[in-house]
Amino acid sequence: MATNNLYDLPPASLESTLRDVVSPSFRIRQIEEWMYVRGVDSFESMTNLPKELRASLASQFSLAFPEPIERTPPANDGSSKYLFKLEDGSRIESVYMPLHERTSERTSVCLSSQAGCAVGCTFCVTGFFGAGRNLTPSEMVGQFFTIRSEHRVAPDLMNVVFMGMGEPLLNFDNLVIALDILSRTVAPKRMTVSTSGIIPGIDAIAKLAHPPHLAVSINAPDQKRRQEIMPITSKYPLGELIAALKRLDREFTAEYVLLAGYNDSPQDAAALAKLLRGLKAKVNAIPFNADPNLPPWMKRPADGAIDRFVDTLVKNGVRVTVRRSKGREIAAACGQLRGKSEVPQRRVHRAARVEPARVERDPLHRERR
């Protein structure tokens, strides 16, 4: 069985790989069109290629995508969640989110980058299930092309967000290949990569010729509390993270999950504004979305507390968006669909805070200035 998946190659390497197999050379351009624009998962689909060439390619290469094994019925807002099975039996999740903007039917697709997560954020359902391997580029773009095909969405109406299972910047090399492939139909400015604060990855993202938008999980305005809920802070301290974001020197989104009684006071908002001063940051305030796998003390703040937090940021000159949750009834937050059918690797014992936003995140929100 062919195992050399062409979607795992950097697009710049595809021609050299196929040069000895495909002739004349214009056939390679046709293959690129079928792969990067149409997103097919079989050579048989390439109907303008000779039958003999299709058979030869299939004997040497693969175009396989992860297998979708479960799809939730559309929620009231149209959101739908996908559970994919990988060749080794691992399972990952993706979310389709129609945005229903006033001027278009734009959609957002949330993709996973790892089959689990080793970062260990105590508020994250994926982290609750433990570490998993890096996804290959074909496994990442396969989520996108499968969902795009099933919903028949025009590429120019799609946003891509790597906010699903895993820490994208710990799978940097494969992520860059996936971004390159996706950029053939989705503008880089419409792609977002979310990170818990992996500083070497942030520095590397800044050096890309066409970098995606960056979303960084902050979630607490001080080192002590951030480390309580995000253990990665002990390796990449908050002060050093802020320094890396200054080096980034472009706009990014500061993700901030609001946990009742923990990080949601006006004083916390003022401290966050001070922390971000001088940075090109927009805060995305995300009211916590509970999950039964997480500690019961983690609660969504009352609407009044959310308003006070946001108003304080606005008064301090910070641009703020407030997440309007989508797909709650379909378990759209990271790891929730998988969590209904699998036994976790570990239990969360420490007094931590949740970031359900790692997959629930979507660009639909209200903005306040």
Residues 139, 84 share a domain:
yes
Q: Single out the residue in 19, 43, 60 at which a domain terminates.
A: 60
State the CB neighbour count (10 A cutoff) for residue 16.
10
Domain-embedded: residue 168: yes
Over residues 63-89, the pLDDT tens digits come to 999 999 999 988 888 899 999 999 999
State yes or no: pLDDT of 187 exceeds 80: yes
**Can you tell me the mean pLDDT for 195-213?**
96
> What was the pLDDT predicted at 126?
73
Rg for the chain, CA atoms, rounded: 21
State yes or no: pLDDT of 349 exceeds 70: no
Nearest to 49, CA basis, from 61, 75, 143? 61
What residues pair up with 285 in beta bridges, in sequence order? 256, 322
Domain that holds residue 14: 6-60
Q: Single out the residue in 60, 84, 103 at which a domain terminates.
A: 60
Strand duo 252-258 + 281-287: pairing: parallel
Residues 73, 55 share a domain:
no
Residues 268, 217 share a domain:
yes
State yes or no: pLDDT of 345 exceeds 80: no
Domain-embedded: residue 360: yes
Residues 121, 43 share a domain:
no
> What was the pLDDT predicted at 1?
37
In total, how many domains does the chain have? 2
CATH of residue 50's domain is 1.10.150.530
Confidence band, pLDDT 50/70/90 cuts, at residue 359: very low
Q: What is the dihedral of CA 18, 183, 256, 77, to 10 degrees?
A: -110
At 208, the amino acid letter reads L
Residues 99, 13 share a domain:
no
Residues 107, 13 share a domain:
no
Domain-embedded: residue 165: yes
Domain-embedded: residue 128: yes
Q: Tell me whether the omega of the peptide bond preceding residue 24 falls within 30 degrees of 0, making it cis.
A: yes
Give the catalytic positions in this structure: 93, 334
Domain-embedded: residue 1: no
> What was the pLDDT predicted at 75?
83
Residues 130, 53 share a domain:
no
Over residues 282-291, the pLDDT tens digits come to 999 999 988 8
